[in-house]
Structure 1
Amino acid sequence: MQDFTDKVAVVTGAAEGIGKAIARAAAAEGMKLVLADIDAAALDALAAEFAAADVPVLALRTDVSSPEQVDALADAAFARFGAVHLLVNNAGVAVAKSVWETTPKDWEWVLGVNLYGVTNGLRAFVPRMLERGEAGHIVNTASVAGLLSVPALAAYNASKFAVVTVSEGLHHDLALRQAPIGVSVLCPSWVKTRIAESGRHRLGEEGAVQAGTSVQSQKIGQAVFQAVQAGITPDSVAESVFEAVRAGRFYIVTHPESRAGVRVRMEDILENRNPTLMSL
């Protein structure tokens, strides 16, 4: 996908962080915007920013873990603009717990947003994108935690590994059909977002239960928070996304140093070694 002017971009998790940066980059490219987020107030504020700049925008509060709400988002997008060319399934959450500390509600929440948010988006949008037959691109946000396994992030790791393989399969499915739709999977490491505070969006008292109970999990959770605060900017991630879309590049690895860890993991598998503990 080379030409973005007057094309339509859909971005989930758009109210802040990486999603917000991608939405702004899309607007700078002359795109029309369909923005979704669970935070209605932040979403409305961003939509007002774009409307004031005469950017055509539709904003709809959406819980991406809900198939019905994502279907409604797709219906609204096609009703308003008639087409979708760039689909960015970006919404994501995290919880820092070892696998035995991770509750059923934790699994439901993390997989619901991180994995089903992607699969709901693909199911709702891809058939209509294929039907129109126009050039387009899909970006699914995973993480370097979808390429490397780290401790105390059991549910997050599982969800992001799943997004990577779903995206790889999607790439093959579209290529076999010779569809004019490219695919990329975004695998950032540390980025200055509020991912470490994503529990604030959980409903009920579960929202307050973020950290694991063990000392080790709590230490890792704090280390994650500090690493995020020292990470790269969302704007730099958005720049990498558009570079990849233009180039038709599948893997978007924002931190070059992450590749060394991926290589070690692959060698562990090929050499029948026990997993090497790698940092993100």
Structure 2
Amino acid sequence: MENLEDKVAVVTGAASGIGKGMAETFADAGMRVVLSDVEEAALHATAAGLRDAGADVHAVVTDVASAGDVEALAESALGTYGAVHVLCNNAGVYTGSRPSWESTLDDWEWILGVNLMGVVHGIRTFLPVMIEQNEDAHIVNTASLAGLLTGGSLYGATKTAVVALSETVHLELVRDGLKPRISVLCPGLVDTNIYHSQRNRPARLSDAGPVPGDWSVEAAKKAFKTGLSPRAVGERVVEAIREQRFWILTHPEYGKHIEHRMTQLLNGDNPTLLPMPGQ
């Protein structure tokens, strides 16, 4: 999908973080961008900032865990721009409960609803539209290095599922000779505020499991500030769309960790962890 000028992109989780970085990069490429997020005030602030910079954007408050909300997002996008050429299923949350068996059912329902079912709802709603358009189109699903490595607990479980789903959809599209293509984004540490996902946790799912005793919002904030900029991630996403590249890996220093896991799998070894970069 070489030419992005005047094409339409829909980005979930676009009010901040990686979603905002993608929206900014798409706007710079001349695309019209539909931004969606559950955090209404931040969403409208981001949309206003992009408009002030000259971008053609449209904002829709959306809870991706709701199939109806995602369907309404598609209706709004199509009603505003008439087509959708790029979909970024990016919205995600993090629940840091440990150990995993003490995570509550509310933890599971919340993180599965956003991180996995949000992607499912996006694919089910938008991909048939893209196929019917019979034009070049692309879906980007945000997973994580946690979907390729061992030890991610609830978050890793959802991101591993997103990787597997994305691989399957890629094979189905190629097998059937359809024009849309798909990528899976597996970033490492990025300067976002996902560590503070609790700000958007639904009241009906408020029963949270325990967090590690050495964890704090301030410590997490300091760590995430050292991560890759969301804008840099957005630029890598645009490159992958242009190249029709499936894997978007933003942190090559983790290559040996992925190799370590795959080697253990092939050898039938029990899982172990390598020290993370910087440790």
Shorter-chain TM band = over 0.9
Q: CA deviation at 1:141?
A: 0.1
Q: Which moved more, 1:229-238 or 1:190-199?
A: 229-238
Q: Secondary structure at the match of 1:115?
A: helix
Aligned to 1:23: 23
Aligned to 1:53: 53
Give the distance between the partners of 2:65 and 2:203, measured in 1 at CA. 17
Q: CA deviation at 1:207?
A: 5.0
Q: CA deviation at 1:226?
A: 4.4
Aligned to 2:67: 67
Aligned to 1:253: 249
TM-score normalised by structure 1 residue count: 0.93
Give the distance between the partners of 1:43 and 1:208, measured in 2 at CA. 26
Give the distance between the partners of 1:54 and 1:240, measured in 2 at CA. 22
Give the distance between the partners of 2:115 and 2:6, measured in 1 at CA. 29
Q: Deviations for 1:219-259, whole angstroms, at most 9, x for unmatched residues?
A: 36777554323211111111111111111111111000111
Give the distance between the partners of 2:238 and 2:116, measured in 1 at CA. 23
Aligned to 1:159: 158
Give the distance between the partners of 1:100 and 1:58, measured in 2 at CA. 41
Q: Which moved more, 1:132-141 or 1:235-244?
A: 235-244
Aligned to 1:33: 33
Q: Is the 8 A contact 1:77 1:84 kept in 2?
A: yes
Q: Is the 8 A contact 1:15 1:42 kept in 2?
A: yes
Q: Deviations for 1:176-224, whole angstroms, at most 9, x for unmatched residues?
A: 1111111110000100100100111012385584x734xxx33367775
Aligned to 2:273: 277
Q: CA deviation at 1:50?
A: 2.4
The 1:224–1:162 alpha-carbon spacing in structure 2 relative to 1, beyond 3 Å, is farther
Q: Secondary structure at the match of 1:189?
A: coil
Matched, 1:219 2:220: no
Aligned to 2:139: 138
Give the distance between the partners of 2:220 and 2:46, measured in 1 at CA. 27
Give the distance between the partners of 2:215 and 2:260, measured in 1 at CA. 22
Q: Is the 8 A contact 1:199 1:208 kept in 2?
A: no
Aligned to 1:112: 113
TM-score normalised by structure 2 residue count: 0.93
Give the distance between the partners of 2:119 and 2:220, measured in 1 at CA. 24
How well do the aligned residues superpose, as a CA RMSD in angstroms?
Answer: 1.8
Letter in 2 for 1:212: P
Aligned to 2:101: 100
Give the distance between the partners of 2:259 and 2:184, measured in 1 at CA. 18
The 1:149–1:111 alpha-carbon spacing in structure 2 relative to 1, beyond 3 Å, is same
Give the distance between the partners of 1:219 and 1:183, measured in 2 at CA. 38
Q: CA deviation at 1:21?
A: 0.6
Q: Deviations for 1:86-123, whole angstroms, at most 9, x for unmatched residues?
A: 11000000011221121000000001000001010000
Q: Deviations for 1:154-177, whole angstroms, at most 9, x for unmatched residues?
A: 210110000000000010111111
Aligned to 1:170: 169
Give the distance between the partners of 1:208 and 1:193, measured in 2 at CA. 24
The 1:194–1:208 alpha-carbon spacing in structure 2 relative to 1, beyond 3 Å, is farther
Aligned to 1:76: 76
Structure 1 unaligned residues grouped into runs of 5+: none
Q: Is the 8 A contact 1:89 1:139 kept in 2?
A: yes
The 1:221–1:167 alpha-carbon spacing in structure 2 relative to 1, beyond 3 Å, is farther
Aligned to 1:179: 178
Letter in 2 for 1:138: I
Which of 217, 221, 230 is residue 226 of structure 2 equivalent to?
230
Q: Is the 8 A contact 2:11 2:90 kept in 1?
A: yes
Q: CA deviation at 1:20?
A: 0.3
